[in-house]
Amino acid sequence: MRVLLTGGMGFIGSHTAVVLLEAGHEVVLYDNLSNSDAAVVDRITEIAGRRPVFIEGDIRDENLLVETLSSRAIEAVIHFAGLKAVGESVEKPLDYYDNNLAGSISLFKAMRSCGVKKLIFSSSSTVYGEPAQLPLTESCPTRKATNPYGRTKLQIEEMLSDLAVADPSLSIVCLRYFNPIGAHPSGLIGEDPNGIPNNLLPYVARVASGRLPELHVYGNDYATPDGTGVRDYIHVMDLAEGHAKALEYASHSRGWTAVNLGCGRGYSVLEVIHAFEKASGRKIPYRLEPRRNGDIAANWCDPSLAARLLGWKASRNIDDMCRDAWNFECRQSARQSHSETSCCK
């Protein structure tokens, strides 16, 4: 299939591009590079052995999208592009509504103009808010999010559901990711946020390699087995494979569907630290801190709908996730210091 990946140069998009290229799809990456590096396209090519097309562009540029969709005869879109930092979304809500919401509207209009009917959307477990029950199934209520980032995800899901009612020939799958971590086993692509990471795994990796001095563990008084927050971590390669399955599903289905992508079990912050220590052979110094605003105690999903509908199930465990995140951290810190040898050895 000829597939356009908005935000395809980012963390999840680049891994998905590799999986799709390896499966024989024609891949066009459309990205404004606001949170990614132009070198990623070479790394994807090195891994997959085939070069995707890269178009530098913004999803708010409807004309460029129309031109790209039509000239490349695109059959399906996977929509990753968006801003994703929760704290920043509270400080700059207009940027989030403009980029994520207005950007999505521009994309959906361009798809309509060009008759592109298949869409996979990057949603998030954040749409469930504070879980009413665990594990979370897709029939659990979605709730008012605690921040503008989360609200854009829910609003885009709702907009897509309305579009599917208005045009029954559309095929739309909203993938609700739980906590994607890890990296491609080559260490060529992974997650390396600018500045101080907000998310647990990139932070832990930088402490292990010595790029940061210690981890802050936000809260040890939650009603969880060891008091720290519990999440459903999922290897980014499993997630990428889930997109390939969702694309197959979208090619023969109609309507709007939301599907959880997670492993179906939770790990606490302390369990993640121990798994990373095992993978890296490094001690991770940490300090207990008060809870972080907006955090929930625990969430994990029931991934059985993904198994039934998409024929997908995560196959990599927390040790695989930490091993691959560590391998990427070692290679990335070596690349950034332009040294032949990694600080991790």
Residues with active-site annotation: 149
d(CA 75, CA 174): 17
Shortest Å distance, C-beta 151 to ligand NAD? 12
Helices (H) and strands (E) in the chain, counts: 12, 14
d(CA 68, CA 28): 9
Based on the shown chain and the rule CB under 6 A, indicate whether residue 179 belongs to the binding site for ligand UD1: yes
Based on the shown chain and the rule CB under 6 A, indicate whether residue 59 belongs to the binding site for ligand NAD: yes
Based on the shown chain and the rule CB under 6 A, indicate whether residue 203 belongs to the binding site for ligand UD1: yes
- Sorted by sequence, the CB contacts under 8 Å of residue 67 that are 6+ apart come out as none
Based on the shown chain and the rule CB under 6 A, indicate whether residue 261 belongs to the binding site for ligand UD1: no
Among 40, 189, 217, 244, contact with ligand UD1 (rule: CB under 6 A): 217
CA nearest neighbour of 240 among 200, 182, 284, 160: 182
* DSSP tag of 125: G
Based on the shown chain and the rule CB under 6 A, indicate whether residue 242 belongs to the binding site for ligand NAD: no
Based on the shown chain and the rule CB under 6 A, indicate whether residue 33 belongs to the binding site for ligand NAD: yes
Q: Which listed option, ligand UD1, ligand NAD, none, makes contact with residue 103 (CB within 5 to 8 Å by class)?
A: ligand NAD
Based on the shown chain and the rule CB under 6 A, indicate whether residue 126 belongs to the binding site for ligand UD1: yes
Number of CB atoms found within 10 A of residue 219's CB: 17
- Span of 112-120, 161-169, 205-213, 214-222 interacting with ligand UD1 by CB under 6 A: 214-222
Based on the shown chain and the rule CB under 6 A, indicate whether residue 84 belongs to the binding site for ligand UD1: yes
Shortest Å distance, C-beta 323 to ligand NAD? 19
Closer to ligand NAD by Cβ: residue 123 or 333: 123
Based on the shown chain and the rule CB under 6 A, indicate whether residue 180 belongs to the binding site for ligand NAD: yes
Among 269, 305, 314, 344, contact with ligand UD1 (rule: CB under 6 A): 269
Based on the shown chain and the rule CB under 6 A, indicate whether residue 34 belongs to the binding site for ligand NAD: yes
CA nearest neighbour of 79 among 163, 166, 183: 163
- DSSP-assigned states of every residue in 181-225: E---TTSSS----SSS--SHHHHHHHHHHTSSS-EEEE-S-SSST
- Sorted by sequence, the CB contacts under 8 Å of residue 95 that are 6+ apart come out as 83, 88, 89
Q: Tell me the CA distances in angstroms from 253 to 10, 212, 256, 290, one per residue in order.
A: 28, 47, 9, 46
Among 5, 21, 78, 103, contact with ligand NAD (rule: CB under 6 A): 103
Residues that bind ligand NAD (CB under 6 A): 6-7, 9-13, 31-36, 58-60, 80-84, 99, 103, 122, 124, 177, 179-180
- What is the contact surface with ligand UD1 in residues (CB under 6 A)? 84, 86, 124, 126, 150, 179, 198-200, 203, 215-218, 229, 231, 269, 292, 294-295
